[in-house]
Structure 1
């Protein structure tokens, strides 16, 4: 009887396989852009299956694979392709939780490739049921069989997911993009501009920010347009029988109703993409999830929305604005609790190849890093400093401009317009995720391990896997058990950028941000999977300089009940590595350099005041100038004060002796100074160091080091141990000795 059941099951499986072999790949759309919302509430790519038989065919357990080595097994509840019917399989935006929707687990967990490729449908044993190659994508068009199940393929601008192709029109050539004779700009007087209309073509346009189609928008027969006295947003597209429609071209003309002076970001998209209750990504809406201290909000989702991004920069010579960037890209809300802070959530702008192959923003947005290639930009609301919008930017600028080796986020304040309306001044920032690794180190985002630490999920793998991270954890534990085994430490140095990590921990511990590792939050790191080393990114430092004893705070949190979620992994690593004397000494030196060089009060005041002055008038537009001033003053005071207390707490934690207050600098700007082989970031130091201390100077090209000048005398030897561990010194901590001749040999300690 068991044998009969087994045979029956085998027959059913064979019948199911035979049925699935009848399935046909009927249509493929890679660059959906803004045409069809998928079950995850994104605009993903899709492949349509056609069933030419009289019986429904189940997709449960079948495998989708591509020519790039990706594969995905469809879930058991994937459903059927109905008899003589169609079913779309959606790609990308896969999630087993509720990040996109409750059914995003049915989406294939990889993307269709912009450059083209091959898609296969296989049975669970790997037998190919159907296969189809497809060419490089064309925006808002699909590659389809000209008749359902037929042998001829072509391009159509009227895709039909889960419907027949028989009524679609096909063409082989796409019309060129509309040529507009005036770039986006800021204007004071009315003007006219023209759009070229090729012979036989129809120019369709919209002024409500939606995408022009034959059914949406207006027709211009002349191509002549007038702009008078108010901001106008135009979107253009060409149509012609026998051709595929052109791409969409957008122009925003901003009326100068304010004295705009910062760069301008103008975002244009169909209003429903941002504000609709069901699919709007920038409102609470009615289709959200709980999280980030909000019971339910669309803004808690990770939806991507297609937008046009224009970047206008002021031209000092002409006194006008110049269009530096104009391209389509993705918009995605980002941040934690700050998603729900006023005036609005932060968001990312993400380039992608589906937007005419343009997978980066070809303009140097950040003066501090003109050489990087940005795939994404973060438009930040200020986080916990949402009214002042300067604390994190100022903190990172102070650190980054010092020259210390640490990964920071560059900043550029900007006026933000959405669909032609001025909204607010936000700061453009480098992203703090895998795109930071691409722009700063050239790491392929598809070949990267990237993790983050957050209060909700603890340690979370965002890209790649955690194999090397767990190796780091394991080696750190081995190092704690065998702190004199240099081979273990050397292995850690092979997988971690140790110089950068030491500086990262020194800045983090010195600045004492209460929303950092101690709170299991705001830590992100990445590495190239091709033997790369981990880099950690300084980020979200709005609540810095609250904890003056962060080292002790971290260690006190080491063994609490958050460890099982991975929330304390990074603390565990740091604590274990401190058992190694070499690492500990380097950390202590870096901590002291951060104190006496990076956060030297005069440079802090100069940098933050300059940033405040730059943003002041823009924040006045938002009614927040006084908040900006208050935040800037708080940042200056926090970064400038409590130096002695922070050093004392560090000294007490490590039970250090022999503290020395030193002040030294180079008499030329390009001279490089070192303390125990650690470069002094700003080339100047005024603070505390702990023995042993070796000072070293390196002269720039064209100069020669003459020696150390100290109280009128010189040390001829470049590398000189100023304070050794075997030397006994007395120190005085009960006031000032300015009027005492304490340097004289005859000075009495009892006087």
Structure 2
């Protein structure tokens, strides 16, 4: 067979390109024409301090506008009791005095922690107007949704962004199809009964279409579009308030949320998002996972961006939710430019979460290699480095162990790689084909869920007979500690792990730093927590909330001391050592202690390390200046020192 000419190939490519342009143009034109056919509103949704009259209109005066005020879809045939024909105007007023409706619907039946409670008082409400245009008895265009909050102090009412989720009531609360209630699928006779119910259902058939409006704290509209909504999470689905998982799809109108949701992130496009209920920590502080991930966000693994928000459902106040990124193939495509079909995500004991059957083979082969070969041999340990990002794994273990996460390592384990033919050391981050770990759901840590500042997480994470003290049904969970145990056979890994932990105890987990982070979170959530408590009844009072936050502080104060003792016991280390780094006044540059970079303005600097585990200290003078040598407990002209710390040691730059 003769090869096609380059001209023919070029023509073929041009034809494909023209077809693609035509399709995109058609979709965009259809979208624009749909907007043109849809009802127009005289005022957009948002915050108003005075009542007003809303006017609706269409570009064709012969069109008939139908509207609803309860969040349901305007449809004179399918929804005749709640659908009205638009006349001259619609009054938009304060809804003070209106009865609670949706917020009086029980959203859980059996929960060993938090039973459902009705709101303590009338919840704050907004007016939701949904309108559709009809021509010759047929709907044209899209349903348009706007949410209006009216209150004399509305501009200062919320310090968080405000999200309005609007959908037909039955989508969330119907006995048969409602995703937010126990519903017909709750089985009181099941063992255990608390894992049944509509809210435990998953998959596309349990996704419901809703309108979403996002407003910045003082009422500026960020974006408005239709999304798909599912219930998200594990056992946290039992909580009265649920986590919502949001999906964007072309058939809903927009293929992504194109908005800078997280001010500290460079990402401005999202395919999936979570409106998180704070997970298993629900009813305590409402921010523990966000706090913990914020503390470790500069470590060498994935963490989820966060931003707190207040959510309304069909106009009724629904409480504090934390906007979070969701890990999936879209996440890695948007963040690292890895094609979705090349992303492999495994969970738990190498189950394929994103990918195809067989994608776990690379991970299983890696474990098999480590089990069958002496990991204390340098060549075998180096081979492990080509299959997994060891630095990432160490940081991941350090974080989980420090926080005393009781819901790990037997659960909440996610790891990923780009599917490649072989390890590519020259590839950009994430593209080299190695396994990496990501952190999420740190709710059962930091002193909650039976954890404490003296919890022996290091021993648990390396226990060959790990069964979580029988908490998780007495099953054999030893697979969850296998990789860590295999790597600990290598002394280089062991020393790197100990020094990395020491580095983070001296910086990331330094008591004052963590306490400051807790203070900041309390300051952020304090203005909003009162209304949330009145809505849900958990925690029971603002005083209890303060006590819960103080529990975090108690953990932060005491945890470093116990972790250091646990490290010494685990690795048979004799003593801790205090290392001081100093320089003469006027010296300019940085000093590195292992992986810590210390600016001259931070000197003198002190850290705690372990005798028997050498550390590396490097002086890096500012460009144009000269390093003159070391003084103190070690003299010499070499800018890099390797030291086995003992007692109290001081190293001074000359």
1:363 to 237, 259, 267: 259
Measured after TM superposition, the shift of residue 394 of structure 1 is 1.3
State the structure with more CA Rg: 1
The equivalent residue for 1:722 is 643
Task: Please state whether the residue corresponding to 1:272 is helix, strand or coil.
Answer: helix
Per the TM alignment, residue 295 of structure 1 is displaced from its structure 2 partner at its CA by 5.2
Distance of 2:192 and 2:327 partners within structure 1:
19
Which position in structure 2 is the counterpart of 1:64? none
Pairing 1:598–2:508 present: yes
1:534 aligned residue (435, 439, 445): 435
Contact 1:174–1:244 under 8 Å retained in 2 = no
After alignment, is 288-297 or 688-697 more displaced? 288-297
Of 301-310 and 637-646, more deviation after overlay is shown by: 637-646
Rounded to whole Å, the distance in 2 between the matches of 1:417 and 1:197 is 28
Structure 1 position 396, deviation (Å): 1.3
CA deviations on 1:71-104 (whole Å, 9 max, x unpaired) are: xxxxxxxxxxxxxxxxxxxxxxxxxxxxxxxxxx
Equivalent position of 1:266 in the other structure? 164
Shift of 1:566: 9.0
SS at match of 1:588: helix
Corresponding residue number in structure 1 for 2:369: 478
Give the conservation status (yes or no) of the 8 Å contact 1:473–1:573: no
Matched, 1:643 2:566: no
Equivalent pair of 2:312/2:319 in contact (CA under 8 Å): yes
CA distance 1:619–1:649, change in 2 (3 Å): same
Asked if 1 retains the 8 angstrom alpha-carbon contact of 2:247 and 2:271, the reply is yes
Determine the structure 2 residue equivalent to 1:213.
Answer: 75
Unaligned runs of 5+ in 1: 1-115, 118-133, 140-154, 156-171, 315-319, 733-741, 744-751
Unpaired runs of at least 5, structure 2: 1-18, 96-125, 421-431, 534-538
TM-score by length of 2: 0.74
**1:504 Cα deviation after fit:** 0.5
Compare 386-395 and 491-500 and name the one that shifted more: 491-500
Instruction: Supply the distance in 2 between the matched residues of 1:678 and 1:602 (Cα, whole angstroms).
Output: 17
Distance (Å, rounded) in 2 between the aligned partners of 1:565 and 1:514: 15
Pick aligned residue for 2:617 from 695, 701, 723: 695
Query: Partners in 1 of 2:71 and 2:313 — Cα distance?
Result: 10
Residues 493-502 or 299-308, more deviating: 493-502
- Preserved contact between residue 181 and residue 198 of structure 2 (Cα < 8 Å): yes
Q: Structure 1 703/550 Cα, relative in aligned 2: closer, same or farther at 3 Å?
A: farther
Matched residue, 1:305: 208
Deviation, 1:505, is 1.0
Where 2:72 maps in the other structure, the secondary structure is coil
Partner of 1:676: 594
Q: 1:631 offset after TM fit, Å?
A: 2.4
* 2:15 counterpart residue number: none
Equivalent position SS for 2:416: strand
State the match for 2:12 in structure 1.
none
**8 Å CA contact 2:56, 2:86 repeated in 1:** no
> C-alpha separation between the residues in 1 aligned to 2:303 and 2:343?
19
RMSD: 4.0
Check if 1:324 corresponds to 2:222: yes
Distance (whole Å) between structure 2 residues aligned to residue 632 and residue 715 of structure 1: 49
Q: Paired residue for 2:135, among 235, 240, 243?
A: 240
Summarize the alignment of residues 427-506 of structure 1 with structure 2, pairs less than 5 Å apart: 427-453=322-348, 459-465=350-356, 467=358, 469-480=360-371, 481-506=373-398
Alignment match, 1:285:
183
- In structure 2, the CA distance between the partners of 1:514 and 1:373, relative to structure 1 (3 Å rule), is same
**Distance in 1, Cα, partners of 2:130 & 2:618:** 61
In 2, Cα distance between the equivalents of 1:336 and 1:705?
58
- Greater strand percent: which structure? 1
CA deviation profile, 1:530-585 (whole Å, cap 9, x unmatched):
56433322122122243632222123254669999995434211211222233222
Distance 1:568 1:177 in 2: 59
Q: CA deviation at 1:704?
A: 5.5
Match in the other structure for 2:242: 345
What is aligned with 1:513? 405
Highest relative contact order (Cα 8 Å, sep 6+), 1 or 2? Answer: 2
Residues 567 and 355 of structure 1: CA distance in aligned 2, closer, same or farther (over 3 Å) = farther
Alpha-carbon deviation of 1:311? 0.9
| Alignment deviations for residues 364-402 of structure 1 (CA, whole Å, 9 cap, x no partner) | 2222324353222212222232122122221111112xx
TM-score calculated relative to the size of structure 1? 0.65
Answer whether contact 1:677 1:696 (CA < 8 A) is retained.
no
The correspondence of residues 627-642 of structure 1 with structure 2, limited to 5 A, is: 627-642=544-559
Shift of 1:446: 4.6
Q: In the TM superposition, what whole-angstrom CA distance separates every residue of 1:693-751 from its partner, at most 9, and x where no partner exists?
A: 11235568x78585788769997643222337xxxx5x49xxxxxxxxx99xxxxxxxx
Tell me the alpha carbon deviations over residues 144-167 of structure 1, each in whole angstroms, 9 at most, x when there is no partner: xxxxxxxxxxx9xxxxxxxxxxxx
CA contact (8 A) 1:268 1:418 kept: yes
Structure 1: distance between partners of 2:614 and 2:570 = 18
CA deviations 1:403-435 (Å, max 9, x no partner) are 222211222111111110012112222224445
Task: Give the Cα–Cα distance (whole angstroms) in 2 for the partners of residues 599 and 559 of structure 1.
Answer: 26
Deviation (angstroms), 1:243: 8.7
More helix by share: 2
- Residues 91-134 of structure 1 show CA distances to partners (whole Å, capped at 9, x for unaligned) of xxxxxxxxxxxxxxxxxxxxxxxxx99xxxxxxxxxxxxxxxx9
Q: In the superposition, relative to structure 1, how do residues 377 and 645 fare at CA in structure 2: closer, same or farther (>3 Å)? A: same
